[in-house]
A and B are shown apart, each in its own frame.
Chain A
Amino acid sequence: MNRFEELLKSLSAQPSVIVHLGAGDCTEHEFYNSIHPDHIFYVEPDQLLAEAAADAFSDAPHVRIIPCAIATTDGPQTLNVTNNRRFSSLLLPAELLDFYPNITVDNTTGVEAVTLNRFCRNQAVDRNADNLLVAEIQGMEKEVFPSTEVTTLQKFKWIIVRTSEEKLYAAATEGVQQSLSDTLQEAGFMVFSFAEEAPPYVNIVGIRNDSVIESSELKAINSDLLDTVKVLEFNLSKKDTALGTLKISSAAEQANSQVVLATRAAELEAAQVQIKSIADEIEKQQQNNQEITRILNDKTAELDASEALVKSTRAENEDLNRQLDTATKTIQAKSTDLDVSEALVKSIKADNKDLKRQLDTATSTIEAKSADLDENEALVKSIEAENKDLKRQLDTATSTIEEKSVELNAAQFRIQSLSDKNSHQEQQVSALTASLQAKAQEISGIQQTLRINNKLILKSDTDLRELQTQYRTALQHQEHQHILLSELKDKLRQASLYYQKLNLQSPLIDADLIAQDEPGEKDDSGER
């Protein structure tokens, strides 16, 4: 029995992806599920076991069953299927039979094999996550791991391999075999070995040492950089020499071009002076034109304004005359009203003073109240904000409560249905056990009656035998009696003959004899 569960528990491994090569019946599934990985890949070459696993995990979306073998090369291979299917391998069993003598290769079947490199590429297993690789590949581990790329191995944080120091399986390719520990150590893993409860298997555990890997990567990058620096230095020296020659040739060219450049510059300057003078003249003319148009505009505006002024002053004079007449009339009316209103104004002023006082007090109270109001408003706002938050929290809480209650209802329903099912099953089981017990009792009753019957038969047999012997003896007696009777019959016949003879010879004797016999004759005849 392997020690994967024990080892993984001691490592406290929480992998995102679990890859189990040679999963068999997926005995470890319950434990793998308990550590909640995102994905589980079960690789199993045995078609029968793979199909059984696919059926079992059809409702688990995070579990994938991959029916293939892991080998050193891609392509079809032959799987040796043993009577204990957990020992089936691409290799033939060798010393395995010393430990498990009852293992036999029942048949061979064709399977598709992939390399570990290709498998990881196909299933998008990358180094960004903490991945776990468990390998139970029945002897192939000694060939597969040395031939796997280091970068592929480094995609897994933990590697557990079930292997043996013994040559359990015949090697396919002798040259490739290498110690697993060395391979994993070279790939930057810390390696530990744990023997199982009983030989021949050991569990090799590799834990990725990221610092070692990073330092080796840095070393590689450093050496790359040094190489590029050397190349660059070489290129630089080359370019320096090219630059020297270029400098010499360019100095001569520069001198020639400077002369040409100077003449060109003089010509350019002369042309620029001419262009500048033309531009100045154009500018002066434009300025003059602008001044003339501005003066013209001003004069026309002044003319328009004076004409409008004349017209408006005339209309104003007429209006003013009309207003003067009405004003003199109203002034007369108003002078009388003014006296009344002056009295009114005086009383109103007094009222106003009172009102002003009241207003002052009111404004002071209003100010105080407004300050309070402001404070209250601020409080109300904060309370409102709090209320809003609380409302939001309440909403979320009610929604979660609703969700939870729905879940709870569903769970309760499920529990009830399960308990119903359970009780039903229990009832069935109890009914079955009761029927079983009844049957057992029936059978024991039958056995007892059988036993009694057997005894009765034996007794009757003995009785029969006794009766038969009695019958036989009775028959013998009867035969004996028959014989005696027949003998007696003969003798009686002889006696009667003799008696007749005697009667004929001397009838007197007979009469005398009869006379002598007379007293007992009656009794004898009666008896006869």
Chain B
Amino acid sequence: MLKKRVPTDTSQSPVYAGISTLAEEICEQQFSQADALSWQTFIPASGYKLQATQLLSSLENEALFAWGNDHSCLYLDFWNAINPDVRFLLFYCSPEYELSGYISSHPFDMSRVEQVLAAWITRTRAMLAFFMCNRDCSLLLNVQSAASAPDAFVQSLEHHFQIDFGCEPATADARPTRFALIEYLATTLLLKNKLVAELYDEVRSAATQIDAQDRSMAGIEERSKALINAFLAEVTASTQRLDAESRLEQELASSQLQINQMADELEYYFKNSIEQEKIANTLVEYLSDNPSLKIARQVRQAE
């Protein structure tokens, strides 16, 4: 039996803000001295349990409440222990996607790249371990697949968690656009990283499938080839766009020329029509003032 639940924007709810603040506090307590990139799994202090329980108990009357945070994957057991009704949506991504995200927004530094990969390993391992132990209440999904196939993603959610959202998924892709070339460059940094490859293969073997790309177990070299092909496709598309743009510009120029010509013609006709109108008016005036015509009119009226 599906429970009909209409999703609403819970991010404006005070409970959402409360949980976010609590999560921030937990992470600050854990990573106060550490670098932002140094991720590691941990068990939050027992004092936070009561706060979390109170926050979640205030949601008993809510039909559906969703909350998300990227650091929460490091202490998933904490949330699981607080309320057994909580369902977990775990999003993993490919290492090249993670790395390209960092490279595109930061200056290149090899040591930072290694830190990014170490963080990816920690996060992915934590999510995989939790998913393998709690398959009934969790879904492990590829974030790229979920974004590219929202219908299948929602279906998967509905099927696994027995929820009927009863509405169409939003089609807008909120993720930042990534260039295939940057992802390709990221794959070149991963070619000899066997540990990352092994973990990514294991995650893909265990995760919930959404679409056809999840079924592919392509290795890093194949993925690298696919990305360079995608980059070439992007280049061709951009060249085509440029060609189309230049064509449009030409069309625009010609249509502007036509418009101008038409405007000239119209102006000419307009002037002509004004002239003719003037002539007609004078003719009408003349004819109306003509005495013979007046007599003729009188005669006609008399008849």
Chain A residues with CB under 8 Å of chain B are 1, 24-27, 83-84, 86-87, 99-103, 197-200, 426, 429-430, 432-433, 436, 439-440, 443, 446, 449-450, 453, 456-457, 460, 463-464, 467, 470-471, 474, 477-478, 481, 484-485, 488, 492, 495, 498-499, 502, 509-510, 513, 516-517, 524, 527-528
Number of cross-chain contacts by CB at 8 Å: 133
- CB-contact partner of B280 in A84, A199, A439, A488, under 8 A: A488
Question: Chain A's nearest CB lies how many Å from the CB of B89?
Answer: 18
Subset of 14 A-B contacts with CB under 8 Å: A24-B198, A25-B198, A84-B204, A86-B198, A198-B132, A433-B108, A440-B179, A450-B241, A464-B259, A484-B280, A488-B283, A502-B295, A527-B282, A527-B286
Q: How far is the CA of A446 from the CA of B215 in the complex (A)?
A: 36
For B181, list chain A residues within 8 Å (CB).
436, 439
Flag if B292 contacts A499 (CB, 8 Å).
yes
Q: How far is the CA of A460 from the CA of B248 in the complex (A)?
A: 12
For A463, list chain B residues within 8 Å (CB).
259
Flag if B125 contacts A1 (CB, 8 Å).
yes
Q: How far is the CA of A84 from the CA of B198 in the complex (A)?
A: 9
Chain B residues with CB under 8 Å of chain A are 103, 107-108, 125, 128-133, 179, 181-182, 185, 194-195, 197-199, 201-202, 204-207, 209, 214-215, 217, 238, 241-242, 245, 248-249, 252, 255-256, 259, 262-263, 266, 269-270, 273, 276-277, 280, 282-284, 286-287, 291-293, 295-296
For A484, list chain B residues within 8 Å (CB).
280
- CB-contact partner of B286 in A87, A198, A439, A524, under 8 A: A524
Flag if A495 contacts B217 (CB, 8 Å).
no
For B248, list chain A residues within 8 Å (CB).
453, 457
For A430, list chain B residues within 8 Å (CB).
108
- CB-contact partner of B291 in A99, A517, A527, under 8 A: A517
For A517, list chain B residues within 8 Å (CB).
291
Q: How far is the CA of A433 from the CA of B185 in the complex (A)?
A: 10
Known contacts A446-B242, A488-B280, A495-B287; decide if A467 and B296 are in contact (CB<8 Å).
no
For B291, list chain A residues within 8 Å (CB).
513, 516-517
Flag if A100 contacts B205 (CB, 8 Å).
yes
- CB-contact partner of B207 in A27, A102, A453, under 8 A: A102
Flag if A102 contacts B209 (CB, 8 Å).
yes
- CB-contact partner of B276 in A198, A481, A510, under 8 A: A481
For B295, list chain A residues within 8 Å (CB).
502, 509
Flag if A198 contacts B129 (CB, 8 Å).
yes
In order of increasing CB-CB distance, the 3 nearest A-B pairs are A198-B132, A198-B129, A83-B217
Flag if A467 contacts B217 (CB, 8 Å).
no
Prevailing SS type, chain B contact patch = helix
Flag if A199 contacts B132 (CB, 8 Å).
yes
- CB-contact partner of A102 in B198, B215, B273, under 8 A: B215
For A470, list chain B residues within 8 Å (CB).
266
For B201, list chain A residues within 8 Å (CB).
84, 86
Q: How far is the CA of A517 from the CA of B299 in the complex (A)?
A: 20
User: Chain A: which residue is nearest B199 at the CB level?
Assistant: A1
- CB-contact partner of A453 in B245, B270, B287, under 8 A: B245
Known contacts A99-B132, A197-B125, A432-B185; decide if A492 and B287 are in contact (CB<8 Å).
yes
Question: Chain A's nearest CB lies how many Å from the CB of B295?
Answer: 8
Q: How far is the CA of A457 from the CA of B256 in the complex (A)?
A: 10
Question: Chain A's nearest CB lies how many Å from the CB of B109?
Answer: 10
Question: Chain B's nearest CB lies how many Å from the CB of A513?
Answer: 5
Flag if A478 contacts B198 (CB, 8 Å).
no
- CB-contact partner of B273 in A440, A449, A474, A509, under 8 A: A474
Flag if A198 contacts B128 (CB, 8 Å).
yes
- CB-contact partner of A84 in B202, B242, B259, under 8 A: B202
Q: How far is the CA of A513 from the CA of B289 in the complex (A)?
A: 12
Flag if A460 contacts B217 (CB, 8 Å).
no
Besides A27-B194, A197-B128, A464-B255, 6 more A-B contacts (Cβ < 8 Å) are A1-B198, A198-B128, A198-B132, A474-B273, A481-B273, A488-B280
For A453, list chain B residues within 8 Å (CB).
245, 248-249, 252
Flag if A102 contacts B204 (CB, 8 Å).
yes
Flag if A84 contacts B205 (CB, 8 Å).
yes
Question: Chain A's nearest CB lies how many Å from the CB of B111?
Answer: 12
For B293, list chain A residues within 8 Å (CB).
495, 499
User: Chain A: which residue is nearest B198 at the CB level?
Assistant: A27
User: Chain A: which residue is nearest B216 at the CB level?
Assistant: A83
For B245, list chain A residues within 8 Å (CB).
446, 449-450, 453
User: Chain B: which residue is nearest A197 at the CB level?
Assistant: B129
For A450, list chain B residues within 8 Å (CB).
241, 245
For A1, list chain B residues within 8 Å (CB).
125, 198-199, 202
Question: Chain B's nearest CB lies how many Å from the CB of A193?
Answer: 18
For B292, list chain A residues within 8 Å (CB).
499, 502, 510, 513
Question: Chain A's nearest CB lies how many Å from the CB of B80?
Answer: 14
For A498, list chain B residues within 8 Å (CB).
296
